[in-house]
């Protein structure tokens, strides 16, 4: 993939993003484009599928909706116009409980819950850039799955709107996900099953 043409030091916007070829996958983080290649590994996809099915089944008949990448989550700053938004991400899994945030192009504003499954090419972006970004935009709960370590890091916003230290879970643990006062218990052994 080639980087879109950039003039001087200007930042890219959602309007620019919409002009890029459909067969290419990009994310914008505060105006800076990030290439979404290479394709995820087989194991990444297995973990994704296991988690997605658990959460999707749990949400059946409930208010919240689950979406899988590629699904655009636009995170505007304040009253920023949609086309001028500098941040468009495609989390592996997004759950949105406020349906007013949904439109035909995806989600505008912070999802209630996000999962990113890291790979060697995305670890810095997922563990640093997106962690800070999701905290800044008020994503209440952010899970970072580390396939090689069979580990799951859970970040939850505290009363000050900060994530603080992650709670760490491993393949031997169970984890609770609470969405709209409904609780799902996930056995991580089934998530990390190879």
Q: What is the pLDDT of residues 23-75, one digit of tens each?
A: 888 999 999 998 886 788 999 999 999 999 999 999 999 999 999 999 999 99
Q: What is the pLDDT of residues 142-170, one digit of tens each?
A: 999 999 999 999 999 999 999 999 999 99
Give, for 65, the enclosing helix (H) or strand (E). strand 65-68
Task: Check whether 5 has a pLDDT greater than 80.
Answer: no
The pLDDT of residue 180: 87
Task: Check whether 20 has a pLDDT greater than 70.
Answer: yes
Strand 151-156, strand 167-170: pairing? antiparallel
pTM comes to 0.92
> Does the domain made of 14-191 have the CATH classification 3.30.70.20?
no
Which of the two residues, 78 and 141, has the higher pLDDT score? 141
- Name the band, by pLDDT with cuts 50, 70 and 90, for residue 1: very low
The pLDDT of residue 88: 97
The pLDDT of residue 36: 82
Strand 93-96, strand 65-68: pairing? antiparallel
Domain boundaries, the chain: 14-191
The pLDDT of residue 22: 84
Q: Give me the long-range contacts of 96-104 (CB less than 8 A, separation at least 24).
A: 96/64, 96/65, 96/67, 97/63, 97/64, 97/65, 97/179, 97/180, 99/63, 99/65, 102/65
In 3D, which of 83, 84, 87 has the Cα closest to residue 74?
87
Q: Which two tokens stand for residue 112?
A: 């209630």
Q: What is the pLDDT of residues 74-118, one digit of tens each?
A: 999 988 999 999 999 999 999 999 999 999 999 999 999 999 999
With left for phi above 0 and alpha for psi between -120 and 50, is residue 180 left, alpha or beta?
A: left
Query: Rg of the chain over CA atoms, in angstroms?
Result: 17
- Name the band, by pLDDT with cuts 50, 70 and 90, for residue 4: low
């Amino acid at each position: 993939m080639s980087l879109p043409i950039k003039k001087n030091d200007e930042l890219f916007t959602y309007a620019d993003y919409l002009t890029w070829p459909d067969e290419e996958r990009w994310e914008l983080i505060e105006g800076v484009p990030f290439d979404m290649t290479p394709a995820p590994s087989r194991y990444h996809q297995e973990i994704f599928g296991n988690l997605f099915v658990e959460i999707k089944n749990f949400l059946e008949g409930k208010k919240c909706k689950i979406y899988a990448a590629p699904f655009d989550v636009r995170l505007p700053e304040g009253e920023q116009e949609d086309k001028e938004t500098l941040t468009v991400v495609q989390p592996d899994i997004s759950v949105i409980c406020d349906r007013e945030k949904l439109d035909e192009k995806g989600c505008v504003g912070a999802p209630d819950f996000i999962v990113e499954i890291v790979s060697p090419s995305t670890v810095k972006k997922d563990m640093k850039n997106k962690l800070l970004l999701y905290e800044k935009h008020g994503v209440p709960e952010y899970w970072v799955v580390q396939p090689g370590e069979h580990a799951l890091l859970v970040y939850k916003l505290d009363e000050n709107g900060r994530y603080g230290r992650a709670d760490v879970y491993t393949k031997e643990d169970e984890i609770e996900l609470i969405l709209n006062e409904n609780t799902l218990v996930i056995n991580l052994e089934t998530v990390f099953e190879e």
